[in-house]
Amino acid sequence: MSAFRTCPTTGLQVHRTADQLIKANAVVATVALLVGGIAALLVLLTRWEAVLLLEADMFYRMLTIHGMNMLIFFIIFFEMAVLYFASAVLLNCRIPAPKTGWVAFVLMVVGTLMVEWTMWTGRADVLFTSYVPLRAHPLFYLGVILFAVGALTVVGHFFAIITVARKEKAYEGSLPLVTYGALTAAAIAAVTLLHGAIIYIPTFLWSLDLMHVDAQMYRLIWWGLGHSSQQINVAAMVSIWYLLGALTVGSVVLNEKVSRTAFVLYVLFISMASAHHLLVDPGMGPSWKVWNTSYFMYMAVLASMIHGFTVPAGTELGMRLRGATQGLFGWLKRAPWGDPGFSSLAFSIVVFGFVGGITGVTFGTEQINIIAHNTLRIPGHFHATVVSGTAMAFMGITYYVIPLIFRREIAFYRLAKIQPYLFAIGMLIFSMAMTFAGTFGVPRRHWDIGFNQALFQPEFSPAVNLIIGVMAVGGLIAIVGGAIYIVVTVVSVFFGKKMAADDSGLGATGRGLPPGITNPPRPLKPEDKEALGPSGRLGPVPGTMVLVLIFLAAFIMYYFVNWMLLSFLWEVG
């Protein structure tokens, strides 16, 4: 058997090792998603005061399991698959060191199992952040270290794949934008994982009573891992936005210079992200906080606002060039809303930007953090970014990875089509209700806000009960959406109808294949540009122009309302 196969849909040469590494990482990611999802259900049904399912100790244990499985294991295993896909597959090249790939994978799996064992046996009830001096079993820290070393190896491997591809002339000129974006994600990952090693190695030694770790120093460096890893997610997600746009509707890149510069801004300023979590900490002064929280004057926020324009604009222009020219939003009407890849893309952009982005920048303001820190507003924010944004985009791309890489049809395709809708709407309700509950001061990571056994009983406004109820309903809808995703992917991958080696799926009807494969966007010709004609006052992408201005208005309003809420408080400083 040859080391390569030819993809019948794209004509790309795919190295079989790349195939296998992508499959292995994606499968483990899905298992982690399942474990984290079960924990999510239990945590949700406990925070819903009307149910209060778990006892306190099990609640905190499940919360730890939920955080580690979702934010570390699911996301990073999936990102490893994305790195192999964006390099070896898109660049049409070989994996230079297959053994290294497998060693890294095994290291990551072993690390994961160690962490899982300590968590499930109650040896690490320290939550995701494991703030020193709360103490977990030494194997918890060692497991994280092994996992980080494995992931760091994959990142190095990714750089090697690109270097070899270039040497062997697998591609000419510059990298495609999607690979370029993945490259920035990998660069951020290297920085992030180094932070992880810097903090977890001393913490591991501390857990063996071999050294002292300062509580504030731990928070500073740990968040160099904790927040920066969310920036890997952002860079990976934005790359997938460009990828999904290209696959589903043939989105074009408006200007390579702008999009690439925006990716570079992520790399340059992301390592300052740690500051967002330390704004109301005693260890640092105001100038450190102002400078770092702004990521060097908000240049990373600028990057996201640029991608928030260029991705929908590229989609709009791609569709206009193919004839969807009616009015401002004719292209949105004509878009393939039945394609789970496209609907995931659209929801991912909208919820990430409107809910996650706006709340994140607002709460990450030095002073406004006083009315947000450690309340439910924070998980409300990051469920909109990392779940509705990143995980939603990852789910969307899965519907293309299954036929293209696993060479299987998607099982229960009709369910797959509604999955993004359930997940996105559920998460939208959930994260907005959570954020809203947080404005009443409801704390995060808290077993019982009824304070039934506490010395004093603060009483929340009755509105809070209602909001928490809404949050629970939204969460349950999202969990149904997540469960459908897992069932569809697992059944497709293991029992789905196999596609023959030469089966491109082109023109097929009634099969479990998304329209981007059966009826791909036609390649553009220079004449298309002439056919489009001159643009109006709002430019070549008027619909996107209107959408981003609505976004900006919402951003400005939410931001200043928060300053107003802050100004009502006691004077403090």
Residue 204 or residue 223: which is nearer to other proteins going by CB? 223
What is the smallest separation between the CB atom of 164 and other proteins, expressed in angstroms? 17
Distance CA 471, CA 434 (A): 6
Handedness of CA 339, 342, 344, 347 (dihedral sign): negative
Other beta carbons within 10 angstroms of residue 471's beta carbon come to 25
Residue 150 or residue 245: which is nearer to other proteins going by CB? 245
For other proteins, which stretch binds (CB under 8 A), given 1-9, 256-264, 330-338, 392-400? Answer: 256-264
Q: Which of 187, 191, 243, 386 binds other proteins (CB under 8 A)?
A: 243
453 binds other proteins (CB under 8 A): yes
For other proteins, which stretch binds (CB under 8 A), given 222-230, 393-401, 407-415, 538-546? Answer: 538-546
463 binds other proteins (CB under 8 A): no
Q: Which of 538, 546, 553, 557 binds other proteins (CB under 8 A)?
A: 538
Q: Which of 53, 415, 545, 554 binds other proteins (CB under 8 A)?
A: 545
User: Which residue do the tokens 């103490």 mark?
Assistant: 135
Residue 79 or residue 427: which is nearer to other proteins going by CB? 79
60 binds other proteins (CB under 8 A): yes
The tokens for 543 are 């619909």
Residue 193 near residue 225 (C-beta atoms within 8 A) = yes
What is the smallest separation between the CB atom of 569 and other proteins, expressed in angstroms? 5
Q: Name which of residues 367 to 386 contact other proteins (CB under 8 A).
A: 367, 369-375
What is the smallest separation between the CB atom of 124 and other proteins, expressed in angstroms? 13
Residue 370 near residue 280 (C-beta atoms within 8 A) = yes
Distance CA 234, CA 256 (A): 19
What SS3 class is residue 129? coil
Distance set, CA 71 to CA 64, 233, 361, 451, 453 (Å): 11, 10, 20, 29, 32
What is the smallest separation between the CB atom of 426 and other proteins, expressed in angstroms? 26
Which class for 245: exposed (0-12), middle (13-18), buried (19 or more C-beta within 10 A)? buried
Distance CA 138, CA 206 (A): 9
How many chain residues interact with other proteins (CB under 8 A)? 117
Distance set, CA 285 to CA 165, 280, 282, 288, 385 (Å): 47, 10, 8, 6, 28
90 binds other proteins (CB under 8 A): yes
Rg (CA), the chain: 23
Residue 414 or residue 522: which is nearer to other proteins going by CB? 522
Q: Which residues pair with 15 in a beta bridge?
A: 4
Residues in Cβ contact with 561 at an 8 Å cutoff, skipping those fewer than 6 apart = none
466 binds other proteins (CB under 8 A): no
Q: Name which of residues 195 to 224 contact other proteins (CB under 8 A).
A: 214-216, 219
Task: Kindly state the helix (H) or strand (E) to which residue 545 belongs, with its residue range.
Answer: helix 542-567
Distance CA 570, CA 573 (A): 10
Largest CA distance in the chain: 76
What is the smallest separation between the CB atom of 364 and other proteins, expressed in angstroms? 9
Q: Name which of residues 482 to 511 contact other proteins (CB under 8 A).
A: none
Distance CA 156, CA 80 (A): 11
What is the smallest separation between the CB atom of 563 and other proteins, expressed in angstroms? 7
DSSP state of 533: -
Q: Name which of residues 155 to 174 contact other proteins (CB under 8 A).
A: 171-174
Secondary structure (DSSP) of 189-244: HHHHHHHHHHHHHHHHHHHTTSS---HHHHHHHHHHHHTHHHHHHHHHHHHHHHHH
529 binds other proteins (CB under 8 A): yes
Binding mask 258-297 for other proteins (x = CB under 8 A): xx------------------xxxxxxxxx--xx--xx--x
Q: Which of 253, 270, 324, 499 binds other proteins (CB under 8 A)?
A: 253
Residue 94 or residue 320: which is nearer to other proteins going by CB? 320
What is the smallest separation between the CB atom of 129 and other proteins, expressed in angstroms? 8
8 binds other proteins (CB under 8 A): no
Q: Which of 4, 329, 421, 440 binds other proteins (CB under 8 A)?
A: 440
Binding mask 330-369 for other proteins (x = CB under 8 A): -------------------------------x---xxx-x
